[in-house]
Structure 1
């Protein structure tokens, strides 16, 4: 059901419309987190604990939001996180996502668990900036085939998910509100190889569980680096120690991510660990963030704490649910307009002007020892 554009003014508006538009199964699959959803909630709530410090009397008559990510210039630093099963949000699935991202001149990371193949998505938006997100199979031939297909189809980098040591959810898939459209869960052409059982069968699910490499190790990162010429991004880094290890193993970038609170409840919100990871990397790799970004002000906060770009997962699906490609493009434009607004009021004419002095944690104002200077934005 297409929503009226006039009722979609903030990302929260898209969320509300998506909830009433999607099937119960789709909404449950997209929305649920692990455990008690503590991390899921904290991803958003933690952003609210950082305060923006306006800078006045700056020339912001022209504002440039462009940024370079892995050598590709994007119109603004908000890209699409890899998420599975976009057809549950809209019949055009990841093809609509790719077209919207290309129209906004931003990037999209395609999930291995997408409902369209690498090639189909590339054909849908040939001029777009696309990256491929995957996990490893036990069979190296399958991994090489996927890496080769991604490079041949014009994907600019590979995102290796590193925070899923086991795939227990494949053993028992449950939803919170029913079972309609659950067949979409199995429509994953990038996972099909000779001998793969048909979609939607117990045999397919069992085959997939046994075929995926569980767990992966740092040796697997080395293997990926040796078997592709594309930049390699490690998705799922939450500690400074792992960020430094990623650099030692040749990662070109790290995506600070807790999988949207879906993998392990109780881990930190991504915005809270970002500054530590940026310091640990020390400029030797690009640093991105996903999880909890809902406003243009959130984007600026993450950039001020050191992220080069932020990624959105659930909000992109909400945009698709509202009006397919057009809905997602509208949501991206909302975030861009909010970012421009916030940049103007913090005296930033370009992305490079955004720095740690613009953001402070709320604890600063609660501490009896605070002084009149700003801090680095992380406590």
Structure 2
């Protein structure tokens, strides 16, 4: 079985993916901004939070489910939106979506996918899926993407706020590597009627012009909180804001009508030196005062990480790089096995901590290490 090549250890999984992949795509996935301080601290900061297990608790039957936006999720786990997955596996997002669907884990499809959001949705059937929006400077394209996602059966829109432009990623600069310039990761644009209407010739006739247009309209650094009403007017789906690290931004999200927030520093890929996501989480949970759900990503590597994040107030977590390594090594089956390992680890850690349901996880079960 292909999944047998997926080790349970994250460190071994990452090392195996590095051996398997060429340096350019591996570094595009694994590397982060600047000196990569934040990506290291994302992982290390989980160590500060220590679980205090309780004994003589009946954990023979366990409930791992959670509810988000009226939908029941089997686990407090989603696949984070990751673009241009075709650089590590030819089926890219399609294989990841199938792997997530097989494990009953919601898949968040990225705007920066090689395959269109419609094709990705088809792979998942009726399984829960969300769409992540990179808000284009061409507002009509942004609106079109959101409307297409709702029509295709996605159940939430995740707006990534921390990438109005790409961060300073030294390894990508060393490699002179940006896969979008080879037309990978722009499938949602090449299938968008508004984007196509901006071109003099079809991408089949003139791909270079299509790529140039993408480079001009991808990001939008001029956005402010007042602009959120524009996207809200395009869809009836819940709007979740990804990239929140400051409690005041969490309060503004509530004030401006967001339906949820994701505490994230983009896996350390945008601002090197940014606060670790797990350290930002408790303050943001307190700031929203249960008005909207708080999710978290950046640094989820093992089941104990999920336990700690949920205990600190996250309704669910997003996992990123681990499933990409699984995709690289074994396609759809690799994604399945990475998720299976994480879920099993989470289940065991929760039970051995003396908890029988996700709802029982709380801050009282954690102690913060001094110093």
Correspondence for 2:214: 208
Correspondence for 1:225: 232
Correspondence for 2:100: 101
Mapped to 1, the partners of 2:26 and 2:268 lie a distance apart of 16
Does 2:159 match 1:152? no
Correspondence for 1:291: 298
Q: Per the alignment, in what secondary structure is the counterpart of residue 186 of structure 1?
A: coil
- The structure 2 residue matched to 1:262, chosen from 264, 269, 289, is 269
Comparing 95-104 with 189-198, which one deviates more in the overlay? 189-198
Correspondence for 2:358: 351
> How many residue pairs align between the two structures?
362
The equivalences for 1:181-192 within 5 A come to 186-192=184-190
Q: Per the alignment, in what secondary structure is the counterpart of residue 316 of structure 1?
A: helix
Mapped to 2, the partners of 1:178 and 1:225 lie a distance apart of 37
Report how far residue 202 of structure 1 moved: 6.0
Contact kept in structure 2, 1:233 and 1:254, CA below 8 Å:
yes
Mapped to 1, the partners of 2:235 and 2:4 lie a distance apart of 42
Report how far residue 311 of structure 1 moved: 0.2
| Backbone CA RMSD of aligned residues | 2.4
Comparing 246-255 with 184-193, which one deviates more in the overlay? 184-193
Correspondence for 1:372: none
Give CA-to-partner distance per residue, 1:274-296, whole Å, 9 cap, x none.
00000000001110000011100
Give CA-to-partner distance per residue, 1:74-124, whole Å, 9 cap, x none.
211111111111111211111111111111111111110011101100111
- The structure 2 residue matched to 1:243, chosen from 245, 250, 264, is 250
Report how far residue 11 of structure 1 moved: 2.7
Report how far residue 168 of structure 1 moved: 6.9
Correspondence for 1:319: 326
Correspondence for 1:333: 340
Q: Per the alignment, in what secondary structure is the counterpart of residue 119 of structure 1?
A: helix
Correspondence for 2:308: 301
C-alpha change, 1:351 and 1:142, in structure 2 (3 Å) is: same
Report how far residue 256 of structure 1 moved: 0.3
Q: Which runs of 5+ in 1 are unaligned?
A: 367-379
Q: TM-score, normalised by structure 2?
A: 0.91
Q: Per the alignment, in what secondary structure is the counterpart of residue 58 of structure 2?
A: coil
Correspondence for 2:349: 342
Contact kept in structure 1, 2:77 and 2:318, CA below 8 Å:
yes
Contact kept in structure 2, 1:33 and 1:260, CA below 8 Å:
yes
Correspondence for 2:49: 50
Q: Per the alignment, in what secondary structure is the counterpart of residue 68 of structure 1?
A: strand
C-alpha change, 1:149 and 1:4, in structure 2 (3 Å) is: closer
Report how far residue 176 of structure 1 moved: 4.7
Q: TM-score, normalised by structure 1?
A: 0.89
Correspondence for 2:11: 12
Comparing 351-360 with 186-195, which one deviates more in the overlay? 186-195
Report how far residue 135 of structure 1 moved: 2.0
Comparing 72-81 with 152-161, which one deviates more in the overlay? 72-81
Mapped to 1, the partners of 2:126 and 2:39 lie a distance apart of 34
Correspondence for 1:80: 79
Q: Per the alignment, in what secondary structure is the counterpart of residue 131 of structure 1?
A: strand
Q: Per the alignment, in what secondary structure is the counterpart of residue 262 of structure 2?
A: strand
